[in-house]
Structure 1
Amino acid sequence: MALPREDEEQLTQRTSISPVLYDNLVHYFKYASCAYVPVCPRPNGRHLVLPFTNPVTDVQGYVARDNEKKELVVALRGSLSLTDFLMDGQLVLVPFISPGIKTTPDDIRVHSGFLTCWNSVAYEVIEIIKHELGSYPDFSITVTGHSLGGALSDLAAVTLKAKFPDAPLNAFSYGAPRTGNQAWAEFINKSFGSCMHRVVHTSDGVPTMIPKELGYRHHGIEYWQHTDPPSAESTTQCSADGEDPTCSASIPTMGINPAHVWYFGIMAATPFCY
């Protein structure tokens, strides 16, 4: 997909990411894609610890364990049902109160629907991670998700970092909408820095679907794959604050479009369950 907003000369002036980082972005998208699959015995070829779900909010995900990388991966599914889309539409900003969180800045506000969704499975996820870290105390934690799952992975990252402060934590979101206000974005940036990866594919309209005019703001760091075909050369690291005017925020939202469904040439919900 070509983007009309920039000419070829401007695109070639962008700084590409490294092949190693690009491979990592693809690697964790495969986990996010597996979260759409009702039964996935080996997510991304790794050991499935436990799936989790909530029948009221229709949140679905799983925890996997990668013994080679020594990490626990929490993957959360994106919107797939009417319930999910109803939760997506609850745009009121509310204080961030979640299991395991003791204190956060008083002015932090997050999307009420996303918070309800995450809190509906938070206790279960915390207990699974607690049990696994009891057996594998030197393992790190990675959270990932696409679309709604990406927004929930932000909330999960903050919760799990507060609950398990000694475990290194990384986060990868793909096509995620804005999740909270400016105080939230600043808190994420300060707490995670380069450990937070927010990926946007070309003209994906979901990341900009919730407008800044409602008080929302993206956190960093955005990795924008600005042109197809996907590669490290066509993916750039945007400014760390999250709202780089030269990256995906420069494109008027197109809502849920083909660019939202495809990342790195992979259709979301592709089952990497071998």
Structure 2
Amino acid sequence: MDVGESAENDNPHHISPELYEDLVHYFKYASSAYQPICLRPNGNTLVSQFSNVVSDIQGFVARDTRRREIVVAIRGSASVTDILMDSQIVLVPLLSPGVTVPSGTRVHSGFLVTWNSISIQLLAIMRLELAKHPEFSIVTTGHSLGGSIALLAAVALQQIFAERQVRTYSYGAPRTGNQIFAEYVNGLFGTKAYRVVHGNDGVPTVIPTSLGYRHHGIEYWQYTHPPSEQTTFQCAANGEDERCSASTPSQGVNLAHTNYFGILVSTPFCL
């Protein structure tokens, strides 16, 4: 089903237990990406780590044989360099190896620089791994800055490995690009782009729409406690549902940003 295909998505509604379990499952990868090394990501096989010392970004590629998927997890902000990248909010054309997007597509300049700093390295890892596992799908995931980079990675991976299914999960990620970019992402992934927000986490709304930014859909808003499928809304497909997290004025980095589903960000799931 494409984004916007069903009128049901125009009204926030609670999600299924199965979807809730998936959202938690991929958050554990995103949380583990904060570790210097994760030998068994989410209990699965570590394929390779990747990093760039200049942009100070890191992550890993893992293989889940049971789910038959290759998972790319990217760390969120953890240093002064990351914060500097976060602050580079000028919208620039999306120019990246292997990527072709509609005219007028623009993204956060700091996020793009960060993604491009690891893109060739990551794509080389993925080519080798996917050649060994031609039937596996691809998942990207990340928290905060990592969620935005995971989205850019998903766009590149879906274009370069067009025969594979690609899904992407972000947790507490800021707006990444303009409306043309958001609409392109919605068309490329449909319901396979999962954007999760915890309560009044201020990071997803810290970059305002007045600067030309717009979220892609669909948002999954875990709005109150205790965390469960009954306290998580699936919001409208337009990415900017004013009845969900956009209804809360941004407080920037706050307590809600530091934990998702009752899990403290950077908790390792590496055994």
AA partner of residue 188 (structure 2):
S
Cα displacement (A) at 1:14: 5.3
Query: Whole-Å Cα distance in 2 between the matches of residues 215 and 53 of structure 1?
Result: 30
User: Residue in 1 aligned with 2:66?
Assistant: 68
User: Residue in 1 aligned with 2:234?
Assistant: 237
User: Residue in 2 aligned with 1:82?
Assistant: 80
Cα displacement (A) at 1:266: 0.2
Say if 2:198 and 2:260, in contact at 8 Å, map to a contact too.
Answer: yes
AA partner of residue 162 (structure 2):
P
Query: Whole-Å Cα distance in 2 between the matches of residues 138 and 132 of structure 1?
Result: 11
Say if 2:89 and 2:110, in contact at 8 Å, map to a contact too.
Answer: yes
Q: Structure 2 stretches of 5 or more lacking a match?
A: 1-10
User: Residue in 2 aligned with 1:159?
Assistant: 156
- Aligned pairs for 1:1-274 within 5 A: 15-101=13-99, 103-274=100-271
Describe the SS at the equivalent of 2:156: helix
User: Residue in 2 aligned with 1:7?
Assistant: none
AA partner of residue 267 (structure 1):
L
CA-atom RMSD in angstroms: 0.8
Query: Whole-Å Cα distance in 1 between the matches of residues 134 and 88 of structure 2?
Result: 38
List per-residue Cα deviations over 1:125-174 (Å, max 9, x = no partner): 11111101111000000000000000101100100001100011100000
Query: Whole-Å Cα distance in 2 between the matches of residues 263 and 140 of structure 1?
Result: 25
| Percentage of identical aligned residues | 59
AA partner of residue 259 (structure 2):
W
Describe the SS at the equivalent of 2:60: strand
Say if 2:12 and 2:236, in contact at 8 Å, map to a contact too.
Answer: no
After the TM superposition, which parts of structure 1 deviate over 3 Å for at least 4 consecutive aligned residues? none
List per-residue Cα deviations over 1:228-255 (Å, max 9, x = no partner): 1100000010001100010000100011
AA partner of residue 30 (structure 1):
K
Describe the SS at the equivalent of 1:167: coil
Describe the SS at the equivalent of 1:64: strand
Describe the SS at the equivalent of 2:152: helix
Q: Structure 1 stretches of 5 or more lacking a match?
A: 1-12
Cα displacement (A) at 1:18: 0.1
User: Residue in 2 aligned with 1:10?
Assistant: none
Describe the SS at the equivalent of 1:165: coil
AA partner of residue 155 (structure 1):
L
Query: Whole-Å Cα distance in 1 between the matches of residues 161 and 148 of structure 2?
Result: 20
Describe the SS at the equivalent of 1:252: coil
